[in-house]
Structure 1
Amino acid sequence: MTVRHGLRRGVAVVAVCGVFGGAGVGTAAADPEVVEPVVAEAPAVPPPPEGAPPPPDPALVPSSPAATTTSPDGWTLTLSARDETQLVIPPLTTAISTREYEVGGIFSASMTGPEEAEPPRGSLEVGYQIGCGIDMSTSNGVTLSGNIGLTPGLVLAGAGAVPTALTPIGGGLTVALKPGIINTVPVSKKEFEGAEPWVMVDGFRIKIDGCVGESFIRSYAFLTRSTPVSDAVLAWYGVTKKV
């Protein structure tokens, strides 16, 4: 009888342990599952196909056709440019009214005339013109003005008068703007002797101040053939670029 009673008690203990063990398992299964965030990778940019031309240089600008003329003494003058670049550069002053550019190009001339004539001589000037929609460089710019005064007075109060004083304060803001202006920036003026002068510009920076609104830039070249008694001048202007 004693043995049987002990077995029954042991079974009861095992059953209770089984109940608590099942409860523990159930609690563990109810915990939320931790999910790692998935970071989407940027799609890979495919390389350019083999043999494809490189992307265009944003600084490159087209050149105007060559300019030509014939002088009264029989000389033909020709003036042109190639490989021009014009790139907008953030100004060192950080002022919004400053325009700065990095420019370059090859400007060349040729002159042909009578075979018995002496080699031509003269000058070749190269530079740039920058047009501004609104000009602040030759005006007073922004002007602040103000005034203050004192006005005494009397106010009747009961049987007497109370002195008072008013201090009016006024002010104004004046912005002086002028119509657009064209700024000419010479870069080089070459004195030469020969039939084919040229000027090369590379990585040259030009800057103007007091320019508000839209701006435009273009290159220019002036060819002058000189003799003791005459000058023949030929002008060439590049393509206008809006910036």
Structure 2
Amino acid sequence: MMVGDVLRRTATVLAIGVLLSCALAGTAVAQPQPAEPVAVDAPGAPPVPPEGAPPVDDGHVESTPPAVTDTPDDWRLTLSAKDETQAPIPPLTTALSSREYVVGGTYMGELRGPDEGEPPGGTLEVGYEIGCGIDMSTSNGVSLTGTMGLNPSIGLIGIDVISPGIDGILPSLGGNLGAGITVGLKPGLVNVIPVTKKEYSGADPWVMISKFRVKIDGCVGESFIRSYAFLTRSTDQSEAVLAWYGVTKKI
């Protein structure tokens, strides 16, 4: 075999190898890449916020510790709450000075004392307090003010050094007109909104509130909301009152 034939065969083999390598590389590049997983919200679950976005406010509120007191007749009263929710919603009036919230929670009383033969009795009241930074409900709000007046005057004609006599009288009338805007604002106030007052007979009264709407008008600036509960134990000769207040939430 001639040397030239060997060289030609070697070159042919190398060319075929290069073509196969390019074809395999093109096939690898053309392979579809696996798609990144996409988060899908489960039915009824809160929406998943985008990565890096602040968490969505679901309205959940941590309740404060239980309030406890002991009475002179050896009774212990306990008042607590759980599963509280407070979420702002757009008011029906669409006014910037209105505030509306959807609230809920379970409020529980507990009375423990000596066995007197009869169950304890009294009332359990639950409600909400909404604090407003600036109050416009009891002021004049935004009003227009204006002033208008007339200024009559009389002038003399023909008085000079040569002829001191008066040739005539010239009456004149002037006026003024002014206007402005007055905004009547008052310091903030606390609106107390009682939801229910339950008369009970027993050692473990409770009240449950679900999807209840509370609303105030005439509020400008920031507003604050918190729940409250009053537990009362009444007898023929005494009455003990225990108060509990929830966490203050700024909205």
**TM-score after normalising by structure 2:** 0.71
- Kindly state the Cα deviation for residue 107 of structure 1 after the two structures are TM-superposed: 0.5
Q: Deviation of residue 161 (structure 1)?
A: 7.8
Residue in 1 aligned with 2:191? 183
Measure, in 2, the Cα distance between the counterparts of 1:111 and 1:231: 13
Partner of 2:38: 46
The residue type equivalent to 1:175 in the other structure is: V
Deviation at 1:115, TM superposition (A): 2.2
Distance 1:96 1:135 in 2: 13
Question: How far apart, CA to CA, are the structure 1 residues paired with 2:171 and 2:132?
Answer: 57
2:19 matched to which residue of 1? none
Instruction: State the identity as a percent.
Output: 61
Partners of 2:109 and 2:84 in 1: CA distance: 16
Matches within 5 A, 1:95-106: 95-106=95-106
- Bigger Cα displacement from structure 2, 131-140 vs 160-169: 160-169
Cα distance in 1, alignment partners of residues 209 and 116 from structure 2: 34
Change in CA separation of 1:87 and 1:44 when aligned onto 2, cut-off 3 Å: farther
| Counterpart residue number, 2:135 | 135
Q: Secondary structure at the match of 1:96?
A: coil
Between the two proteins, the alignment pairs up a number of residues equal to 199
Counterpart secondary structure, 1:149: strand
Q: What's the counterpart of residue 168 of structure 1?
A: 176
Compute the RMSD of aligned alpha carbons: 2.7
* Shift in alpha-carbon separation, 1:44–1:173, aligned structure 2, 3 A: farther
Q: Which residue of 2 aligns with 1:92?
A: 92
Bigger drift between 142-151 and 188-197 goes to 142-151
Counterpart of 1:74 in structure 2 is 74
Unpaired runs of at least 5, structure 1: 1-42
CA distance in 2, matches of 1:205, 1:240: 17
Residue 202 in structure 1 maps to residue 244 in structure 2: no
> Residue by residue, what CA displacement relative to the aligned partner does 1:29-84 show, whole Å, maximum 9, x if unpaired?
xxxxxxxxxxxxxx97722799xx97676111111111111111011111111111
C-alpha distance in 1 between matches for 2:241 and 2:117: 19
Helix, strand or coil: the match of 1:175?
strand
Instruction: Give distance in 1, aligned partners of 2:36 and 2:91.
Output: 35
Query: What SS does structure 1 have at the residue aligned with 2:188?
Result: strand
1:44 and 1:229 map into 2 onto residues whose CA distance is 73
- Listed as ranges, the gaps of 5+ residues in structure 2 are 1-34, 49-55, 159-166
**Counterparts of 2:155 and 2:37 in 1: how far apart (Å)?**
82
Q: Quick one: structure 1 residues 49 and 140, their matched pair in 2 at CA, closer, same or farther if it must change by over 3 Å?
A: closer
User: Is residue 2:109 matched to residue 1:109?
Assistant: yes
Partner of 1:230: 238
Give the residue type in structure 2 aligned to 1:202: S
Matches of 1:227 and 1:49, distance apart in 2: 54
Compute the displacement of 1:194 (Å).
Answer: 0.5
Separation in 1, partners of 2:113, 2:227: 27
One-letter amino acid of the counterpart of residue 148, structure 1: M
